Amino acid sequence: MRDTSVFWTRTKRRTAGFVLGAAVLSIGTPAVTAFTQPGARFYLFQTMVFAGQVFPNLLAAGLWLPWRSAWASKVGLWLSAVLFGASALFYLPVMTGIVPTGGDMIALGYLLFAIVTSISIVVVTILAFGVGAFLERRRLSEITAANGSHQK
């Protein structure tokens, strides 16, 4: 028997797109800031800054993409859209200069934001997948109960 299941469903492709978009914003913002603010170059052109910026996105991809069930993929899509929106709200004003940045602690600010984002991703993922699993079990038990009552 041939397995025709597809791992990269439309939902997972959209999830990956949102995570990739958030990664581009999180990596691009320190780079753009370093290029546009000569005083910040020394602080922002550090490997740790860019590694710290990419880590939350890799964590999100690792937590949200491997699931095969439809409900888990939908939860991953929703969470990735929230991550992209939050990244856009934080990084676009900094990248465009609407929010002035600078100083010798600018790299620490990016790293602290990455740490808070990573912790938030883990906590929200546990909550969202816990609620999703509970609702899916409840739905399946209702279907089973309904099918059992029709057979009697």
Query: What's the confidence (pLDDT) of residue 150?
Result: 60
Scanning the structure block, which residue is given the tokens 């439809």?
A: 70
Considering the domain boundaries, does residue 140 fall inside one?
Answer: yes
Note the pLDDT of residue 4: 52
Structure confidence at residue 1 (pLDDT)? 45
**Does any domain span residue 75?**
yes
Closest CA to 11 of 56, 63, 72, 87: 72
Is the Cβ–Cβ distance between 18 and 84 less than 8 Å?
yes
Query: In tens digits, what is the pLDDT along the chain, a chain of 152 residues?
Result: 454 567 788 899 999 999 999 999 999 999 998 888 888 888 898 999 999 999 999 999 999 999 888 888 999 999 999 999 999 999 999 888 888 887 888 999 999 999 999 999 999 999 999 998 898 889 888 888 887 766 55
The boundaries of the domain holding residue 76 are: 10-147
End-to-end CA distance of the chain: 34
Say if CB 84 and CB 21 are below 8 A apart. Answer: yes
Residue 1: inside a domain: no
pTM confidence score: 0.84
Query: Number of structural domains, the chain?
Result: 1
| Residue 49 falls inside a structural domain | yes
Residue 152 placed within a domain: no
Rounded distance between C-alpha atoms, residue 63 and residue 72, angstroms: 10
Q: What share of the chain is helix, strand, coil (3-state, %, to 5)?
A: 80, 0, 20
Is 4 within a domain? no
* 2 in a structural domain: no
